[in-house]
Every structure is written in C-alpha cells, then in structure tokens.
Amino acid sequence: MVDSIYRTRSLGIGLSGIPDQYADGKAARVWQHYIGGHKKRTESYKEFFCNLLNENGIKHILDVACGTGVDSIMLLENNFKMTSTDASDKMLKQAWKIRWQRRKEEAFDDWVIEEGNWLALQEANIEVPSQGFDAVICLGNSFAHLPDFHGDLSNQKLAIQNFKDMLKPGGVLFIDHRNYDAILDSGKAPQRNLYYNSDCIESIKTSVLYVDGKESMITLDYTVDPSKASDDFTEEGEEPGAKRRKSSSEGDISKFRLSYCPLRLGIFTDLLKGVFGEDARHEVFGDFEPLGKVELPAYYVHMVWKPTNENGLEEN
Ligand SMILES: C[S@@+](CC[C@H](N)C(=O)[O-])C[C@H]1O[C@@H](n2cnc3c(N)ncnc32)[C@H](O)[C@@H]1O
C-alpha cells in the first residue's frame, strides 16, 4: 500500500537526478492514444491559441515540453517556426519519427528537436536567436512533473528563470497546470478534459500525498487501452499503410504512473511573479478561455510577459 502511494513512477525506472518518468517507454508508446491523436487533441484550442500568438506578433517559439510533438506540430502547421525540447528521449523519438516522415514539408525540415532539461536549458544543443525566442511554451500539464524535493520550490524557480532567459525582452511564456485546487479539494482528477479526451482511457486513479499536513505530491495511475480507439483515430508517425491493431487483449492495455507537484493557482501565480517581477504583465485562462467563462476549468494557462524598459530592452 505504502509503495503504491510513494512510488512516483512505473516500476523499473531508476532514480538519478530529476527522474525521467517516461523512461520505460510505456507512456510514450500509447501517448497518442491517451491524448486521442495529435489532431483531435489540439482541435479545441488551436484557433484561440494561434490567434493569441499572432496578436502578440509571435513567430519563433521554443516548446520546452514537446513530448511526442503534439503542440509543436500544430504550430508548425500554422506557420510558426518551432524549436522543441524535452528531457525524455522516449517521447522525443515519437516527435523525430513524425519530423522524418514530413521532412519534405519545409516547416518540418526546419524543425529543430533536441533533448533539454528545464534545470539546465542553456545546455540544450539549440540555437537561441540573438534577442531570444518570441515565446516559450510549456503545456499539457508538463511543468507539474518537476518535483519539489527541497520543499522550497527552488527547482521550480530555477526552471522558470531558465524559461525567462530564453525569451527576448517583451517575449511571452505560456505555461499551464491542471486545476489542482479542484483536484486537491475533491481528491480526484477528472478522467477526460480539454487535453485528454480519448476513448482509450480506461481509468485514472488519483492519490494525494501529504507530508506534515502539506499537499506534496499527486500520483495518477493511468490505464489506457489502444484497442478502444474510435475508427477515425489516426496516429501520426505510423508508416503509410501500417495497420493499427484493433484486437483487445491484455497485452494491448498499458498501465503507467506519473507524479505531479500540485501547485494551487495562487501559489503558481506567486511563483511566476517572483521570477518575472511583481509588475510583469500576467493573464490567466481557464481551458484556453477567459477566466470565468468555463465554470470548472480542468487547466489554467498562464501568459506572462518578460518586462522591457522604455527602450524595449531587458529590464535590469
Ligand atoms: C505530460 S507530458 C506532455 C507532453 C506534451 N506537451 C503534451 O501535451 O502531450 C510532459 C512532458 O514533460 C517532459 N518533462 C518532464 N520533466 C521535464 C524536465 N525537467 N525537463 C524537460 N522536460 C520535462 C516529459 O518528458 C514529458 O514529455
């Protein structure tokens, strides 16, 4: 019982430094089934998000949690220039596969994909534009994977500082997290939501770990059955003509565990303000809608601007 609460990832993944919770490849293999396919996943927020980026003059974007590439691909298809990083080579492998298959499209041929850990982002093998990127995105409830081992959010502060350093003055960070206020208050994460809405999700079990009365970690145990995919499901990166397995057997069902640092909205906002400055412009959306429009959003998406001085340069 204790093991099922304290173990932060699937069995068999070694612990060293910041753990790659995707290292056994289990989640990576079924990720597109979990999110319902790349295209279906982005349908609900593509237009709103692309408009927001265009309104802010954003062209070159760094996706620091690209995973299998879902948001990066959607943005490439909508004429943004993408540089994409992630700490997990198992997840990146899927993104590389798609890049290779679509390499004849100019945007995909120019797509830069590299390994990069948020805590040492400057070491990622990417070319940073001289002024910095127009935007950095960290979406899909990725940031919450960063554990707060020291109990003082020092990892979180360092990662956000590294994101800020990648931005040009006036550039924007888009970063999201699940509605942990609702999850902590109810003890349960919603099974389907804006990002993850597929027929293949069998169940998601929520555990909340308190240390000295403080909400410290949430683990979600996922059961995903790819054989439940609807007939219109298409997996990007499949070889043309490849037949998707439809038969249901125990072997198809994937169980994996991921853990999260559950930061409430107020704490997350303070974290961003602590790094970007109290006066930094900051907006929050609920499920990519203006706050208040969705009654109980599953996700909060923060948009925070790197301050500039009156000459448009970085503030000291
Ligand atoms: C929940 S997945 C989301 C992936 C993608 N954004 C999506 O929405 O499908 C979280 C991703 O964050 C990455 N990640 C977690 N911790 C990281 C870290 N410290 N540095 C870089 N990437 C990290 C994981 O490898 C994983 O691919």
Of residues 40 and 155, more confidence is placed in 155
Question: What pLDDT, on the 0 to 100 scale, is given for residue 46?
Answer: 93
Question: What pLDDT, on the 0 to 100 scale, is given for residue 243?
Answer: 46
> What whole-number distance in Å separates Cα of residue 182 and Cα of residue 297?
9
> What whole-number distance in Å separates Cα of residue 105 and Cα of residue 280?
38
244 among annotated binding-site residues = no
29-65 in b/e burial notation, b at 16+ Cβ within 10 A?
bbbbbbbbbbbbbbeebbeebbebbeeeebebbbbbb
Taking the model in full, what pTM does it have? Answer: 0.88
* pLDDT single digits (tens) 166-216: 999 999 999 999 999 999 999 998 766 777 767 788 888 999 999 888 899
| Residue 59: partners with Cβ closer than 8 Å, 6 or more residues away | 80, 81, 134
Question: What pLDDT, on the 0 to 100 scale, is given for residue 199?
Answer: 75
CA 67 to ligand 1: nearest atom: 27
86 among annotated binding-site residues = yes
3 among annotated binding-site residues = no
Q: Are the C-beta atoms of 26 and 34 separated by less than 8 Å?
A: no
Tell me which of 178, 257, 264, 302 is the catalytic residue. Answer: 178
- Overall average pLDDT of the 237-255 stretch: 56
Pocket residue to mutate for ligand 1, from 86, 118, 157, 195, most atoms within 8 A of Cβ: 86
- Is residue 153 in contact with ligand 1, taking CB distance under 6 Å? no
- Is residue 118 in contact with ligand 1, taking CB distance under 6 Å? yes
- Is residue 144 in contact with ligand 1, taking CB distance under 6 Å? no
- Is residue 94 in contact with ligand 1, taking CB distance under 6 Å? no
* pLDDT single digits (tens) 88-140: 998 999 999 999 999 999 999 999 999 999 999 999 999 999 999 999 999 99
CA 20 to ligand 1: nearest atom: 25
- Is residue 8 in contact with ligand 1, taking CB distance under 6 Å? no
Strands of 133-138's sheet in order across: 112-115, 81-86, 60-63, 133-138, 167-178, 299-305, 282-286, 289-290
What H or E segment, with its residue span, contains residue 207? strand 201-211
Question: What pLDDT, on the 0 to 100 scale, is given for residue 314?
Answer: 75
The identity of residue 131, as a single letter, is Q
Q: Are the C-beta atoms of 101 and 234 separated by less than 8 Å?
A: no
Q: At what angle do helices 70-77 and 46-55 cross, to 10 degrees?
A: 60
Q: How far, in Å, is the centroid of ligand 1 from the Cα of 86?
A: 6
